[in-house]
Chain A
Amino acid sequence: MESCGRSATPPGLEGVALCRRCPVGSNSAIPPGHHSQDLQASLQRPEIKLESLKEDIKEYFKISGWEKKLQNAVYSELSVFPSPSHPAAPPEHLKEPLVYMRKAQGSWEKRILKSLNSMCTELSIPLARKRPVGEQKELLNKWNEMGTDEPDLSLFRPVYAPKDFLEVLINLRNPNYENGDSLSFRTHLGLIQVPLKVKDIPELKEFFVELGLTTGQLGIDDSTQVPPELFENEHVRIGQKVLAEQDSAAAQQYIRQGSPTALRAELWALILNISSQPEDILYYEQLKTNVIQHDLLVDSLIYKDVKLTASNDDYYFVFEDYLYQVLLCFSRDTSVLGHFAYNSASPPKSYIRGKLGLEEYAVFYPPNGVIPFHGFSMYVAPLCFLYHEPSKLYQIFREMYVRFFFRLHSISSHPSGIVSLCLLFETLLQTYLPQLFYHLREIGAQPLRISFKWMVRAFSGYLATDQLLLLWDRILGYNSLEILAVLAAAVFAFRAVNLMEVTSLAAAEAVLADLSTLKVMPLLQIFLFATVT
């Protein structure tokens, strides 16, 4: 690069060294990943002209790949954060606009905190303690095989199970909604009694238009009887093109028709805007160091959860060690605190021992503000099929949690929140399978009592893994969890004949106990697009 004298700098231009005007040369491709210094250096080259500066910068972005990265980052922000609200709205309004829901979430949280505190005092175990050096070394040595440890977890109990949470949701009431205490035509037939707006089937058909009968789907049109030339080959080719373009929005649109197995890991990373930079790997290593240094009470809860759920699952037990690594690091990750801006929940607070009430000694517990419940590890387990590098697996799980999974265990009015999903499920069943709904109610088998656990876990552990991944493709593609409620209703519709014959809740549970043989896409398609209404 020839040195440029500043003698010809136009007046008023400081900080940018421009000199002779030369025709703009097209630069050789500047590899992406350059920092702003390189941008500065590039703009000091003699080829840059003042009048085309704006265009040159835009061109630089395009050539270097930064334009795409910026677009993906903006798209990611738009997908995650709620739209800007009224300037007078306080922060809690952004978390949850309805006051009674905020209060209900607050009460629920208080119950959880009390439960954790009493576990602490009963077992005389501190919430957190610094590990002695010897213990740190030991843990570091067996970091990759924590599953072989068999600590005595008999005294620990999960802080709550999904069915405890369901009871809270059933008791949610809008104080301004009068529908009487006694059963009348105005009380809801189902368990959820709050009047949230949910989509009906015509609206769902419009929302999920790509799942229609005339559109090719992975999970249907790639079955062995269908010649791959009809759909699968072309779909794979388009998928490869989408990956080559590195366009998040295009990937999200594409994945509505399902992802080819070979492309899924990359596609999910693209949609979630995750790229493993060196600083991400460093960050994960830092989290690992935090785990080594401090022992938390929630660690025991995580151990217990993994042992009770994933370790007992035929598909997931092989990933046991990965699950400990990811979940223990997750608990230490303070960047997760950011999602509480749009989550109705709030992180639990504590004080350094002896400094109760002094704000400069206030901390969050656990550091990421998320207390795991029974089944939490099942959010991570399916991802282990896609990602084998721990820091990448970690990043993907964290992003999935702050985009989607948190909504499944907090009380909010959001359309993808668990309350809306429950109401959507019940409404779909009542509207389109009224006889079945009535029958199940009569025998004391409220359908939501059976389907709730499926939705809270996003069907993880209930469906076969290939089917689960096809379902999660659509969660990403539509940026919504509503498909969980639709699938739950579709499952009931599929087994309606058997369910009409049962006469007890236990028998109904038995009919719906095993979902491992179900094919999700045909069920969804039939329920939405092929059921006579």
Chain B
Amino acid sequence: MSRVSVPCHVKGTVALQVGDVRTSQGRPGVLVIDVTFPSVAPFELQEIMFKNYYTAFLSIRVRQHTSMHTPAKWVTCLRDYCLMPDPHSEEGAQEYVSLFKHQSPSMTFPKWLSHPVPCEQPVPLLEGLPDPSRVSSEVQQMWALTEMIRASHTSTRIGRFDVDGCYDLNLLSYT
């Protein structure tokens, strides 16, 4: 099954504030980011990938349409997933993160985040002799690898730093 990235529209962040009071000093600790999927047919979401920037905990809620007759409802997929073990220090602050659908707790499994792909069954081992063609190809791969390594060995070892014997330089470059 091949995976493709789904085009999405990420809206600007909205701060959650208590009541209507806008204070300049108080910094809200919770921001909301809306992500919509305009004009896309229903799909099976496998993975959400993003780069963090100083978010400590992440919750994800999805609004799913189950059928034409029931109204769409909001379901929490992920609650307070920890991205930064110590929010006051840099750990995890700018990391790349992937969230997979199996990380959602199964009781709130929305319909389109449905059945996980069944794992491939391991090939049953034949009793007695291993399959000769398989052994042969594995051994061939091994020889090919050793030959490759041996061939590349000498060329990378003594690296040349000059260009055709010339190392007459200008000044150091800033770019």
Question: Are B157 and A363 touching (Cβ within 8 A)?
Answer: no
| A113/B132 contact (C-beta < 8 A), A88-B96, A130-B167, A197-B90 known | no
Q: B93, B143, B170: which contacts A351 (Cβ < 8 A)? A: B170
| Chain B contact residue count (CB 8 A cutoff) | 45
Q: B91, B94, B136: which contacts A15 (Cβ < 8 A)? A: B136
Most chain B beta-carbon neighbours within 10 Å: one of A97, A290, A332, A335:
A97
Interface-side segment among A64-72, A121-129, A321-329: A121-129
Chain A residue nearest to B160 in the complex (CB): A334
Report A254-282 residues with CB < 8 Å from chain B CB.
279
Question: Are A97 and B95 touching (Cβ within 8 A)?
Answer: yes
Question: Are A363 and B163 touching (Cβ within 8 A)?
Answer: yes
Residues of B within 8 A of A286 (CB): 158
Q: Counting CB contacts under 8 A, is B112 at the interface?
A: no
| A360/B163 contact (C-beta < 8 A), A89-B96, A127-B169 known | yes
Q: Counting CB contacts under 8 A, is B67 at the interface?
A: no
Report A386-415 residues with CB < 8 Å from chain B CB.
413
Q: How far apart are the CA atoms of A276 and B163 in the complex, in Å? A: 30
Question: Are A195 and B88 touching (Cβ within 8 A)?
Answer: yes
Report B139-175 residues with CB < 8 Å from chain A CB.
139-140, 143, 146-147, 150, 157-163, 166-175
Q: How far apart are the CA atoms of A335 and B161 in the complex, in Å? A: 10
Question: Are A350 and B172 touching (Cβ within 8 A)?
Answer: yes
Residues of A within 8 A of B147 (CB): 36
Chain A residue nearest to B150 in the complex (CB): A36
Q: B96, B136, B157, B158: which contacts A85 (Cβ < 8 A)? A: B96
Q: How far apart are the CA atoms of A113 and B49 in the complex, in Å? A: 38
Interface-side segment among A5-13, A161-169, A502-510: A5-13
Q: B94, B128, B132: which contacts A13 (Cβ < 8 A)? A: B132
Residues of A within 8 A of B86 (CB): 197
Smallest beta-carbon distance A183→chain B, Å: 19
Residues of A within 8 A of B129 (CB): 50-51
Q: Counting CB contacts under 8 A, is A233 at the interface?
A: no
| Chain A contact residue count (CB 8 A cutoff) | 65
Question: Are B90 and A113 touching (Cβ within 8 A)?
Answer: no
Q: Counting CB contacts under 8 A, is A353 at the interface?
A: yes
Chain A residue nearest to B144 in the complex (CB): A15
Q: How far apart are the CA atoms of A128 and B167 in the complex, in Å? A: 7
Q: How far apart are the CA atoms of A176 and B87 in the complex, in Å? A: 12
Q: Counting CB contacts under 8 A, is B24 at the interface?
A: no
Q: B90, B170, B174: which contacts A110 (Cβ < 8 A)? A: B174
Residues of B within 8 A of A113 (CB): 172-174
Q: Counting CB contacts under 8 A, is A495 at the interface?
A: no
Residues of B within 8 A of A413 (CB): 90
Report A194-227 residues with CB < 8 Å from chain B CB.
194-197
Q: Counting CB contacts under 8 A, is B103 at the interface?
A: no
Q: How far apart are the CA atoms of A50 and B136 in the complex, in Å? A: 10
Q: Counting CB contacts under 8 A, is B98 at the interface?
A: yes
Q: How far apart are the CA atoms of A109 and B173 in the complex, in Å? A: 11
Question: Are B169 and A353 touching (Cβ within 8 A)?
Answer: yes
Question: Are B170 and A86 touching (Cβ within 8 A)?
Answer: no
Question: Are B168 and A129 touching (Cβ within 8 A)?
Answer: yes
Q: Counting CB contacts under 8 A, is A518 at the interface?
A: no
Q: How far apart are the CA atoms of A93 and B93 in the complex, in Å? A: 12
Q: Counting CB contacts under 8 A, is A352 at the interface?
A: yes
Chain B residue nearest to A415 in the complex (CB): B91
| A176/B163 contact (C-beta < 8 A), A110-B174, A349-B173, A350-B172 known | no
Question: Are B168 and A130 touching (Cβ within 8 A)?
Answer: yes
Question: Are B132 and A350 touching (Cβ within 8 A)?
Answer: no
Q: A332, A349, A361: which contacts B172 (Cβ < 8 A)? A: A349
Smallest beta-carbon distance A35→chain B, Å: 8
Residues of B within 8 A of A85 (CB): 96
Q: Counting CB contacts under 8 A, is A308 at the interface?
A: no
Q: Counting CB contacts under 8 A, is B57 at the interface?
A: no
Q: How far apart are the CA atoms of A120 and B166 in the complex, in Å? A: 19
Q: How far apart are the CA atoms of A350 and B167 in the complex, in Å? A: 10
Smallest beta-carbon distance A194→chain B, Å: 7
Most chain A beta-carbon neighbours within 10 Å: one of B90, B91, B133:
B90
Residues of A within 8 A of B170 (CB): 127, 350-354, 356
Q: B89, B96, B136, B159: which contacts A196 (Cβ < 8 A)? A: B89
Q: B98, B143, B171, B174: which contacts A86 (Cβ < 8 A)? A: B98
Residues of B within 8 A of A356 (CB): 170, 173
Residues of B within 8 A of A334 (CB): 159-161
Chain A residue nearest to B145 in the complex (CB): A36
Residues of B within 8 A of A174 (CB): 90
Q: Counting CB contacts under 8 A, is B97 at the interface?
A: yes
Report A363-389 residues with CB < 8 Å from chain B CB.
363-365, 367
Q: Which residues of B contact A (CB under 8 A)?
A: 49, 51, 53-54, 86, 88-91, 93-98, 128-130, 132-133, 135-136, 139-140, 143, 146-147, 150, 157-163, 166-175
Known: A50-B135, A194-B90, A352-B169. 5 other contacts (CB 8 A): A39-B146, A195-B88, A197-B90, A349-B172, A365-B172
A–B pairs, 24, beta carbons within 8 Å: A11-B132, A35-B150, A36-B147, A51-B128, A86-B96, A88-B51, A88-B96, A110-B174, A114-B174, A127-B170, A176-B53, A196-B89, A332-B161, A334-B159, A349-B172, A350-B169, A350-B170, A352-B166, A356-B170, A361-B163, A362-B173, A363-B162, A363-B163, A363-B167
